[in-house]
Structure 1
């Protein structure tokens, strides 16, 4: 077989695998959501980031690991809930997930989500190794955002495990109208606090911060603006995990025509060792992220 034929076959297999990951996330999400009411209690262990696991975290992780791991073409599976990645096959693609982003919101019944990233290479991978990423939002309507092949699409997920395309080629609105900033204000750096106060003075923008990162990011994708979980005095590396949150959210927002940053460069160019490494995160409209970087310079 000619080399070009081999490459074509590999590419076709990768596309099938990516589609398979998306289908599994979509079909598993209703089951995860249905399983939440009985799992609003803490589990016995902490995750590798030192956070108390909810029973729902473990439940969602186990479901996704079993089903994604069974896909032809997936070689590794990793999640925020596991200290190391799991070898699940011989494929060249790796899948990293945050099975239940914002699970601390189970108690007050606020928004949560599932984040996924598909990398062409072993874990820990780099942001430029991404070939697809997205998230499920467990809101009043269960929706899924998927970035692949240079576009972002939105689906509605139904309880019968089917999914329906409702918006194609999603992009950030040109005029951003919302903002949300995480972390305790006394823990912000002086430069970031000055930037935040400037954003707050613009009467055309509204504060939208719910304490669930994926819900807050979805506000930015819907209305435009800026979201930040910044460098903190007590956490110079930030709070959010690069592999499971920084890279995939960066991929979605940039594919949708927005900009992302760790304070100096695109989230997709962040270079960190370790599966559970952290990063500051700033995402939104290009003009606002550029102003942010200038303020932190």
Structure 2
């Protein structure tokens, strides 16, 4: 490793030194999570030759299970956690009574975008760390029902051409790349910032007919480009991987929309281990994250696997979209019929 590079271990120790009286538990927990994601990265890169390839189970389901098991195997025994919540399990996973229980809760999606595995597109692990409200009793599901503003830490690991770990503890966002030669995450993207302005957006255009009018208005204004009200051209992309789109926005700017639609009134992004950690990261990088109607981090969870609409990225673009929602509900209404004569794939008649 070249001199001067900072490993995740060194980074967490230096952060700890900035907080006199720190017990070291949190730093140790971050390194445990990082170890789990290294194991997951190794499984992901093996693809179809990973263990169990002959059992008839689809690849993405096997990888989901491997990732879930890797996180549990690394995190349950450490003594830093009281309980875990995984996208793979309906109920929480309390730390066994035979192990020491810590003061933190971990919510995670072990392999976001796992359906992309079959076609070798990026996938990732998303995680959120909360404080356990009461460590004098056994943890319960309600302990996880905290709004996103209560998060102690959030992060995601992106498994792509390189394995990248992005984290925030509420003091900016830092990105690390896995150096496979030394087996350590190395700081490569310090103090990540999202530009306030953007000329890119990510949305699944196939769902246009199910969108609310404010979202259709925003997308069509972007598609009108320099000839439309925005007076500039936009690019559209959609990876169908939350972590891949989030990292793209962190490095190049843009806005991601997985909005409310008429088929899924509750939304599609998991709040506790998807929307909240991504929103925390995005806000700490200078961006914004909204459901279209309210700040994501202010949403009060009602159930473990609750889902919400999510729009995040460059602050000015997110605020514009939220304003369109407010205008549609409370102010002068724009004419939604303007969008009835064209779609994303047909030229407007004129």
Q: TM-score, normalised by structure 2?
A: 0.75
Deviation at 1:53, TM superposition (A): 6.5
1:56 aligns with 2:67: no
Partner residue, 1:253 = 282
Query: CA, structure 1 residues 269+30, in 2 after alignment: closer, same or farther (shift >3 Å)?
Result: same
Q: Is the 8 A contact 2:36 2:74 kept in 1?
A: no
Whether the 8 Å contact between 1:76 and 1:123 is mirrored in structure 2 is no
Shift in Å, 1:212: 1.3
Deviation (angstroms), 1:17? 4.0
Name the CA distance, whole Å, in 2 between partners of 1:60 and 1:126: 26
The answer to which of 93-102 and 31-40 deviates more is: 31-40
Q: Equivalent residue for 1:98?
A: 109
**Equivalent in 143, 152, 166 of residue 131 of structure 1:** 152
Alpha-carbon distance in 2 for matches of 1:250, 1:16: 22
1:191 Cα deviation from its structure 2 partner = 2.3
Aligned counterpart, 1:48:
none
1: CA distance, partners of 2:170 / 2:114: 30
> Which residue of the partner structure matches residue 223 of structure 1?
252
Partner of 1:141: 162
Deviates more, 1:286-295 or 1:119-128: 119-128
Task: Supply the distance in 2 between the matched residues of 1:84 and 1:257 (Cα, whole angstroms).
Answer: 34
Post-superposition Cα deviations, 1:144-198, rounded to whole Å, max 9, x if no partner, equal: 1111241111111133531111121111124323211136111112221112111
Deviation string 1:123-158 (CA, Å, 9 cap, x unpaired) is 233212211111111111221111124111111113
Find out whether 1:190 has 2:222 as its counterpart: no
User: Is 13-22 or 64-73 further displaced after alignment?
Assistant: 13-22
Distance 2:155 2:114 in 1: 18
**1:216 shift after superposition:** 1.3
Distance 2:215 2:83 in 1: 37
User: What value does the CA root-mean-square deviation take over the aligned residues?
Assistant: 2.3
2: CA distance, partners of 1:36 / 1:284:
31
Q: Which has the larger radius of gyration?
A: 2
Give, in angstroms, the shift of residue 259 of structure 1: 0.5
Question: Shift of the alpha carbon at 1:271?
Answer: 1.1
The residue that corresponds to 1:120 in the other structure is 131
Task: Quickly say closer, same or farther: Cα 1:71–1:124, change in 2 above 3 A.
Answer: farther
Tell me the equivalent position of 1:167.
189
Hey, which bits of structure 1, 4+ residues long, moved more than 2 A?
Answer: 11-44, 158-161, 199-205
> Secondary structure of 2:119's partner?
coil
Name the TM-score, length of structure 1 as normaliser.
0.87
Q: For structure 2, list consecutive stretches of 5 or more residues without a partner in the other structure.
A: 1-18, 133-142, 226-231, 327-350
* Secondary structure, counterpart of 1:90 in structure 2: coil
- The Cα of 1:267 is off from its aligned counterpart by 0.8
Q: State the distance in 2 between where 1:53 and 1:274 align.
A: 26
Question: Does 2:202 align with 1:180?
Answer: yes
Which residues of structure 1 form unaligned runs of 5+?
A: 1-6, 45-51
Query: Residues 208-239 of structure 1: CA distance to partner in whole angstroms, max 9, x if unpaired?
Result: 21111211121111111210100010111111
